[in-house]
């Protein structure tokens, strides 16, 4: 295991939790750097004309209402073929290069420190805190795990750099955890590790599609992922296998749609085991092994069987959003940059639910040795009483 490098925070004898090699992170600036979105205008009808405002208000109405796009254009935030255009009624020419420059904004509060639980020349395992998004999306374009991985100086050994031509400039996540989910996150340091680890996760989805439930960790199972969750109500059965498909449904404020229980969705499989029934709180502590990795799968599956995660702001009984789409919407006013204000109803990135990526077993991407990620009791940064810190131990 790698030692803490200069500029990193080692864990000394008196600092909890056990199993953490070191932590790293750069405090977030107040504002991010903004974003640029590029388009090439294609005219389907040679006799038709399209204005700048028509192009943006028609193609990107989920980003801003008509008055918002007019404001952005007049504010000089859009260039056409490299020139700033402030006239919304400018007629576009076929092949014109359009760029919308989104102004820098203050992203919602998010933690920035990450704990390293395991590290070698091929991969690194992190303990992700609740409240930190893994990849850029929506309001979070800078305050992400991905950004912290890029900001850190990853010192590779000279021998490693000379022998490994596929070493990346920084590790990249090979799977995702929800913003409100804490726990183990695997990242690949090399292109080979990235491809192989990603294939392990993909195999789980294939097994779910074929409804295989391989209890033994063998040739077909290159990775097994286990979570801990605190759910509402008392589960009657000690074990439950859930195979509810998950797909996209219309939901206001989420342009691409919301993942939910859906008969026409993609196959998904979760195996739930009861760990403790907390009758006095009407809660149940469960372990969940997922055989696929659909977005928000555990939240949806547990809600689907009538036991949503405690304090989940979005998913209710049945695996559907608690709020009916017809009764909710998006604030019709727009923000300083012309875009819509925050949706009035809960969205997938909202936190509060109790879910922790607890441990996993995996074949090492290059040595093929089995590595088991175990946990010791402790308290995670989410404050959830049931979560645990992880310690990685190679199995010989």
Contacts of residue 351, defined as CB under 8 A and 6 or more positions apart, other chains included, come to: 130, 131, 179, 180, 313
Q: Which residues contact 92 (CB under 8 A, 6 or more apart)?
A: 41, 43, 50, 51, 52, 55, 80, 98
Structure tokens at 55: 């192009």
Are the CB atoms for 309 and 353 separated by under 8 Å? yes
Q: How many residues does the chain have?
A: 396
3-class SS string, the chain: CCCCCCCCEECCCCCCCCCCCEEECCCCCCCCCCEEEEEECCCCCCCCCCEHHHHHHHHCCCCCCHHHHHHHHHCCCEEECCEECCCCCCECCCCCEEEEEECCCCCCCCCCCEEEEEECCCEEEEEECCCCECCCECCECCCEHHHHHHHCCCCCCHHHHHHCCCEEEEEEECCCCCCCCEEEEEEEEEHHHHHHHHHHHHHHHHHHHCCCCCCCCCCCCCEEEEEEEEEECCCCCCEEEECCCEEEECCCCCCCCEEEECCCCECCCEEEEEEEEECCCCEEEEEEEECCCCCCHHHHHHHHCCCCECCCCCEECCCEECCCHHHCCECCCECCCCCECCECCCCCCCCCCCEEEEEEEEECCCCCCEEEEEEEECCCCCCCCCCEEEEEEECC
Q: What is the mean pLDDT of residues 53-82?
A: 93
Instruction: Report residue 310 as tokens.
Output: 């405690």
- What phi and psi values does residue 225 have, to the nearest 5 degrees? -115, 135
Tokens 């007049």 belong to residue: 74
pLDDT tens per residue across span 279-290: 999 999 999 999
Residue 393 confidence class, pLDDT cut points 50, 70, 90: very low
Query: Which pLDDT score is estimated for 171?
Result: 96
Q: Which DSSP helix (H) or strand (E) runs through 286?
A: strand 283-290
CATH number of 35-102: 3.10.290.10
Q: Look at residue 340 and tell me whether its pLDDT is greater than 80.
A: no
How many angstroms separate the CA atoms of 291 and 285, rounded?
20
Q: Which of 21-30, 317-326, 354-363 has the highest mean pLDDT?
A: 21-30
pLDDT grade for 396, boundaries at 50, 70 and 90: very low
The closest alpha carbon to 117, from 26, 48, 185, belongs to 185
Give the per-residue pLDDT at 384: 45
Say which range, 71-85, 107-121, 339-353, has the weakest mean pLDDT: 339-353
Lookup result for tokens 């990135």: 349
pLDDT greater than 60 at residue 111: yes
Residue 84, pLDDT > 80, answer yes
Contacts of 71 (CB under 8 A, 6+ apart): 334, 338
Average pLDDT, the chain: 83
Could you identify the residue written with the tokens 């006239």? 87
267 vs 376, residue with greater confidence: 267
CB 222 within 8 A of CB 203: yes
Q: Domain ranges in the chain? A: 35-102, 221-323+346-364+380-390
Structure tokens at 162: 């000379």
pTM of the model: 0.84
For the domain made up of 221-323+346-364+380-390, the CATH class stated in words is alpha beta
Give me the pLDDT at residue 48, please: 84
Asked whether the predicted pLDDT for residue 1 surpasses 50, the reply is no
């Amino acid at each position: 295991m790698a030692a803490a490098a200069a500029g990193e925070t080692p864990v000394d004898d008196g600092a909890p939790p056990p199993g953490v090699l070191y932590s790293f992170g750069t405090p977030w600036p107040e504002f991010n750097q903004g974003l640029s979105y590029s388009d090439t205008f294609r005219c389907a009808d040679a006799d038709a004309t399209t204005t700048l405002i028509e192009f943006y208000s028609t193609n990107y109405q989920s980003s801003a209402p008509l008055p918002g796009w007019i404001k952005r254009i007049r504010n000089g935030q859009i260039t056409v073929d490299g020139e700033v255009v402030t006239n919304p009624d400018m007629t576009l020419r076929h092949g014109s290069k359009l760029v919308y420059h989104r102004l820098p904004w203050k992203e919602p509060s998010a933690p920035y420190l990450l704990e390293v639980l395991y590290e070698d020349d091929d991969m690194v395992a992190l303990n992700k805190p609740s409240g930190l998004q893994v990849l850029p999306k929506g309001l979070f374009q800078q305050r992400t795990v991905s950004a912290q991985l890029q900001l850190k100086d990853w010192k590779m050994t000279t021998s490693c750099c000379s022998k490994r031509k596929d070493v990346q400039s920084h590790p990249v996540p090979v799977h995702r955890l929800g913003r409100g989910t804490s726990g183990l996150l695997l990242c690949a340091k090399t292109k080979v590790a990235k491809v192989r680890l990603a294939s392990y996760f993909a195999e789980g989805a294939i097994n779910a599609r074929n409804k295989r439930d391989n209890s033994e960790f063998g040739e077909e199972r290159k990775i097994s992922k286990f979570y801990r969750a605190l759910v509402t109500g008392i589960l009657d059965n000690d074990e439950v296998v859930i195979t509810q498909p998950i797909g996209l449904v219309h939901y206001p404020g989420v342009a691409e749609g919301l993942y939910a229980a859906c008969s026409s969705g993609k196959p998904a499989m979760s195996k739930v085991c009861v760990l403790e029934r907390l009758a006095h709180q009407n809660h149940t502590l469960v372990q969940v092994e997922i055989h696929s990795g659909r977005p928000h799968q555990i939240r949806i599956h547990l809600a689907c069987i009538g036991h949503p995660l405690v304090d989940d702001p979005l998913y209710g009984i049945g695996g559907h959003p608690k709020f009916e789409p017809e009764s909710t919407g998006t604030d019709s006013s727009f923000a300083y940059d012309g875009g819509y204000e925050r949706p009035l109803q809960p969205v997938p990135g909202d936190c509060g639910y109790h879910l922790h990526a607890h441990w996993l077993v995996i074949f090492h991407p290059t040595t093929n040795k089995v590595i088991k990620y175990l946990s010791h009791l402790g308290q995670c940064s989410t404050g959830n009483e049931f979560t645990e810190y992880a310690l990685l131990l190679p199995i010989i």
